[in-house]
Amino acid sequence: MSHKYQVLLHSIFQGPLPGNVHWREVESLLHHLGATVEPILGARFRVLLNQHEFFLHHPHHSNVCSKQEIKHLRECLLGAGITPAAYDEQFG
């Protein structure tokens, strides 16, 4: 099962940014990484991962995340110390 997450994480960090990542895949990845994901207001979600708090938005008109949302997710994961190399070391 972790191979699916490994592939997703690598696609998030490799350029160009993917434009076909579904919100449910992002949420599943975050849970797999040990994050707490809580809905707070409308389409906003509070995420706590490795003692790092950040906020994500559920896509409004579809379930596919925009490239800008993926870029924001990448920055948030970096802030929480999550990289493909760190993931491979921990779960690989």
> For residue range 11-55, what is the model confidence (pLDDT) as tens digits?
999 988 998 999 999 999 999 999 999 999 888 999 999 999 999
Q: Give the CATH number, domain containing residue 82.
A: 3.30.160
Q: Is 33 in a helix, a strand, or coil?
A: coil
Kindly report the pTM of this predicted structure: 0.93
pLDDT at 9: 95
pLDDT at 41: 87
pLDDT at 2: 80
Residue 1 pLDDT > 80: no
Neighbours of 28 (CB within 10 A): 16
Q: What is the DSSP letter of 34?
A: T
End-to-end CA distance of the chain: 11
Q: Is 73 in a helix, a strand, or coil?
A: helix
Residue 27's domain comprises: 2-91
Report the domain count for the chain: 1
Mean local confidence (pLDDT), 59-88: 93
pLDDT at 62: 86
